[in-house]
Amino acid sequence: GQNIDQPTEMTATEGAIVQINCTYQTSGFNGLFWYQQHAGEAPTFLSYNVLDGLEEKGRFSSFLSRSKGYSYLLLKELQMKDSASYLCAVRDRKAAGNKLTFGGGTRVLVKP
Amino acid sequence: KAGVTQTPRYLIKTRGQQVTLSCSPISGHRSVSWYQQTPGQGLQFLFEYFSETQRNKGNFPGRFSGRQFSNSRSEMNVSTLELGDSALYLCASSSDRGRNEQFFGPGTRLTVL
C-alpha cells in the first residue's frame, strides 16, 4: 500500500518562499505529482517528478529523492492567489495506468 | 480543447436512494478515474476505466460501481446511499501517454440526508 504525509497547514507572507514537504512509503513508485486546489474548485496539475532531482517551472519547483521517499514543492515570490491547498500524489508502479494515492493536502495561507 | 465536464454539479439525496454521476473526459482521453473527496479522508481513489474496462480499483464497498462507454464518457453509481457518502466526487481524465497527468473536472457535490 501507499502512505503519504504532508503538513496540514502553512502560513507565509506575500513575496516570501514556502517549501511544502511530502514523504511517502510505497510498495511501488511510478511518479509523484503535485496539484493545487483552490477552495471549491477542482485540483489543477502543477508538477511531475519521476527521476531524482529538481524540476523548475516558473515560480514553482518540485524536488524528488526516491531513495528517501521525499519530495518538496517550492513556491517562490508568493502571491495572494497562491493561497490554496497543495496535494502530493504518488502513482503506483504495480498498477497499470493511473492509480494515484493522495496525501491529505497542505493548506497554504498567504498573508499581505 | 474543452475540459472535463461533470453532471450534475450538485445533488441532494436521502439515505437508501441510489445516484448516478456522469463524466465526459477531454476529447481524445481514454482513461477516466473517479475520486471521492471529504474533509476527513481527503482525496481517495475509487476506480479507473480505460477503453470501457475497469483497470484499477480502490478500497470502496461494492455499492460503488462505474462503467465507461465507447465514447470514453463514464458514469459512476452509488447504491443504498449512506450519510457518509456525502462528498465531492471528482472525475479525472488522462491521455495514457507521457507523464500521464490527470485533468480534473469540477466535481459533483453529493449531499445525503
Amino acid at B98: G
For the sheet with A70-75, list strands across it: A2-5, A18-26, A70-75, A60-65, A53-57
Report chain A's mean pLDDT, rounded to a whole number: 93
- pLDDT tops 80 at residue A61: yes
- Note whether A31 contacts B33, CB cutoff 8 Å: no
- pLDDT tops 80 at residue A1: no
- pLDDT tops 70 at residue A94: no
- Note whether B90 contacts A103, CB cutoff 8 Å: no
Looking up cell 531513495, which residue turns up? Answer: A67
At residue A77, what are phi and psi to the nearest 5 degrees?
50, 55
- Cα–Cα dist B22/A86, whole Å: 26
- Chain A 38-67, residues with CB within 8 Å of chain B CB atoms: 41-45, 48, 50
- Note whether A98 contacts B100, CB cutoff 8 Å: yes
Query: Phi/psi zone of residue B51: left (φ > 0), alpha (ψ -120 to 50 degrees), beta?
Result: left
Beta strands in chain A (DSSP E): 2-5, 9-13, 18-26, 32-37, 44-49, 53-57, 60-65, 70-75, 84-91, 100-102, 106-111
Looking up cell 466526487, which residue turns up? Answer: B89
The answer to whether A49 touches A73, Cβ cutoff 8 Å, is no
Residues near B29 by Cβ (< 8 Å), separated by ≥ 6?
A: B72, B93, B94, B95, B96, B103
Q: How far is B27 from chain A (nearest CA, A)?
A: 18
- Note whether A97 contacts B31, CB cutoff 8 Å: yes
Span A12-57, pLDDT tens digits: 999 999 999 999 998 788 899 999 999 989 999 999 999 999 999 9
- pLDDT tops 70 at residue A103: yes
Confidence of residue A95 (pLDDT cuts 50, 70, 90): low
Mean pLDDT within B49-66:
94
Confidence of residue B102 (pLDDT cuts 50, 70, 90): very high
The rounded radius of gyration (Å) of the Cα atoms in chain B is 13
Looking up cell 529523492, which residue turns up? Answer: A65
Residues in chain B: 113
On whether any CB of chain A is under 8 Å from the CB of B106, the answer is yes
